[in-house]
Every structure is written in C-alpha cells, then in structure tokens.
Structure 1
Amino acid sequence: MIETLKVKLLDGMHAYNEWECALEIPIDYSLDELHQAILSVVGFDDDHMYEFCIGSSYYSRSAQRIVYNDDKVTQETVASIFPQAKGKKLYYMFDYGDSWLFQISKSRKKRFSEKPDIFYPRVVLESGIKPKQYPDWDE
C-alpha cells in the first residue's frame, strides 16, 4: 500500500523560502528509508546525523525521539509511526548544525495499492523553492 505524506520545511539555516511536497511512499518503508526519500527529494547529501520526533512540538520535553543510530529507525515504518503520532506531530530533523526541520503529516488522500508502472517513493506535488543544503554564498 502507498501512503501520501505532506513534507513541509519549517526551519533551517539556509531556509529563506517556504517549501513543501506531497510524497507517495510505501507504508512498509522504515524511518531510515523515509529519511533517504526526503533527502533525495530536496537533493541533500546524506552527510549528517538525523532524528525523528513525535510530540506537540519538536522542542517539547515529552517528545519521543528516534535517532539515526537507534534500532527503531529501521524497525518503525510509515504505517507504524502514524498511530503513535495521533494528536501529536511527526518531525524530522536533519543536520543539527544547520537544523533542517521538517514536519511530516498524512495527507487526506486514502492509502492506495501500488501501481506496477510507477517507481516509489515519488513526489506528486511540490510548492515553494527547494532549499539548498550548501548554497553558493557568492550568489
């Protein structure tokens, strides 16, 4: 089955513009695979640590955090993480220095069966200007 997720950039050192996308992704993808998919969509190199966070806000003391080297990052799936996020939000932080913070939510679109002629994950809608991980400071 395929879930449509809304991925929205909330903050980052070089985030001057709003950006978000709708990402169709298999529900059996792990959080690590979701991390890889998001990096692919924004065109970032995978050269920093990351974490997922479930809470009322990313900075909440009571938030549940799943860091890049925790076994849960490969065990938790797209399907398993959203019941845990009910009433809370799912956040993805990449690169603690530049602090790229994304909010991930389920879209209102219902899950659907994978189509054999389509490669997933895939972006089906995008708005705003995609962030640059390492902008050219001379521009």
Structure 2
Amino acid sequence: MPRQIFQLKVSLADVVPPVWRRVLVPGGYTLDRLHRVVQLAMGWQDCHLHSFDIDGVQYGEPDPDGELALRDELEVRLDAVSAKGGRFLYTYDFGDWWEHELTVEDAFGAEPDERYPACVDGERACPPEDVGGAFGYARFLSAISDPGHPEHEAMMAWVGRPFDPTAFDMDRATTLLRRLA
C-alpha cells in the first residue's frame, strides 16, 4: 500500500490579504517534522517557540521547567491526530502570536515518482520576523507602501532589505522542503 500523503492548506490567521501555502506532506510525519514543513513553506526563520493545538491538546517541544504543558511533538504522527477534513492550529512566536490554521484538504496515496514534502500553491510573502504579529504587520505594510508615511523610512531601515508583500516563490519553498526528506 502506498504511503498516505496529506494535502494541507496553511493559512496565517488575521492577516489581510491572506498569506497561505498548500503543502503535500507524508501522513507519517511526526509533528516536529510538520513544524519544520510549516516554517520552510511559510518562510519563517524558526527562531521562536511554537505549538500545535489539535482537538484541545497542545503539542510542541516539552518544557523542562514545566511552564508549558505540551505533549512531545516527536512522539505524535500527523495521521494519528488528523484526517481528511481535519482542522487544527499551529502557533509560532508566543510574543507576536502568529496563528496558522491548518486544514487537511485531502489524503491520498503517494505517487511513486513524486518526492515529498512539496509546496504546490500559495500566495503572498511571509511577514518579517518580530514585526509585531498581525496588527504590527498591517502597520508595517501601511508604512512601507507609502513614502509619505511618518514611519516609512524607519520601517524600511528596520526590515533592512527590499520587501514585496505579494512575492511568493513556490519552487524555492519546495526546494527547501525537499531537504527534509
């Protein structure tokens, strides 16, 4: 029997216009590998804490100090906690609180000649790290798009590189994901 592949839509909550990715992921991936898939497909830098909320249970990296009650993501497979039609949350950066809605759009047998994981669709650039969550990102976009905005120069200097909020390179995302395989 071919291994099961999950088609996931990953959508950044509270961001307008929407930032999202569609990825194909083996159902046998543990949640720690799914975390890396989300990081690479979205464009995050993986420099903050994260957690999954699946049916009211929190998963992530266990906290040795016990401050966060998280089940170990290394011990849980995607196909054990979700199925076609399933929805769950992934939160990245507990300060900025980037909440991602993950929807299992489909589940099917792996194609013998395909490599997984893969990014097959998406829209818009990932927000810069530490921009201040969805509210801060909206403020950032407003400032960089208007040279007359009082924060334009400061925001351009802060981001330190050209930033096109409409840009998304699906092939680059897939190339990064293939390194996980």
Using structure 2 for the length normalisation, give the TM-score: 0.60
TM-fit CA distance, 1:16: 5.0
> Does the 8 Å contact 1:18/1:129 carry over to 2?
no
**Which residue number in structure 2 is paired with residue 47 of structure 1?**
47
Alignment of 1:26-41 (within 5 A): 26-41=26-41
**Which residue number in structure 2 is paired with residue 58 of structure 1?**
none
Q: Which has the larger radius of gyration?
A: 2
Distance 2:27 2:9 in 1: 14
The C-alpha deviation readout for 1:68-122, integer Å capped at 9, x for no partner, is 2255301111111115x96xx3100011011110011111x34122433x33211
Matched letter for residue 18 of structure 1 = P
1:64 counterpart = 2:57: yes
Alignment of 1:75-114 (within 5 A): 75-82=75-82, 89-107=87-105, 109-114=106-111
> Unpaired segments of 5 or more residues in structure 2?
63-69, 132-153, 158-181
Q: How many residues align?
A: 124
The 1:75–1:114 alpha-carbon spacing in structure 2 relative to 1, beyond 3 Å, is farther
TM-fit CA distance, 1:134: 5.0
The 1:137–1:16 alpha-carbon spacing in structure 2 relative to 1, beyond 3 Å, is farther
Identity %: 22
Distance 1:7 1:126 in 2: 9
Relative contact order, CA 8 A, sep 6+: which one is greater? 1
Indicate the RMSD between aligned Cα atoms, in angstroms.
Answer: 2.4
**Which residue number in structure 1 is paired with residue 166 of structure 2?**
none
1:8 counterpart = 2:11: yes
Distance 2:95 2:122 in 1: 26
**Which residue number in structure 1 is paired with residue 115 of structure 2?**
119
Quick check: which one's strand share is greater?
A: 1
Q: Which consecutive aligned stretches of 4+ in structure 1 deviate over 6 angstroms post-superposition?
A: none
Distance 2:57 2:25 in 1: 23
The 1:110–1:27 alpha-carbon spacing in structure 2 relative to 1, beyond 3 Å, is closer
**Which residue number in structure 1 is paired with residue 127 of structure 2?**
131
> Unpaired segments of 5 or more residues in structure 1?
56-62
Distance 2:16 2:121 in 1: 20
Distance 2:72 2:119 in 1: 25
Using structure 1 for the length normalisation, give the TM-score: 0.76
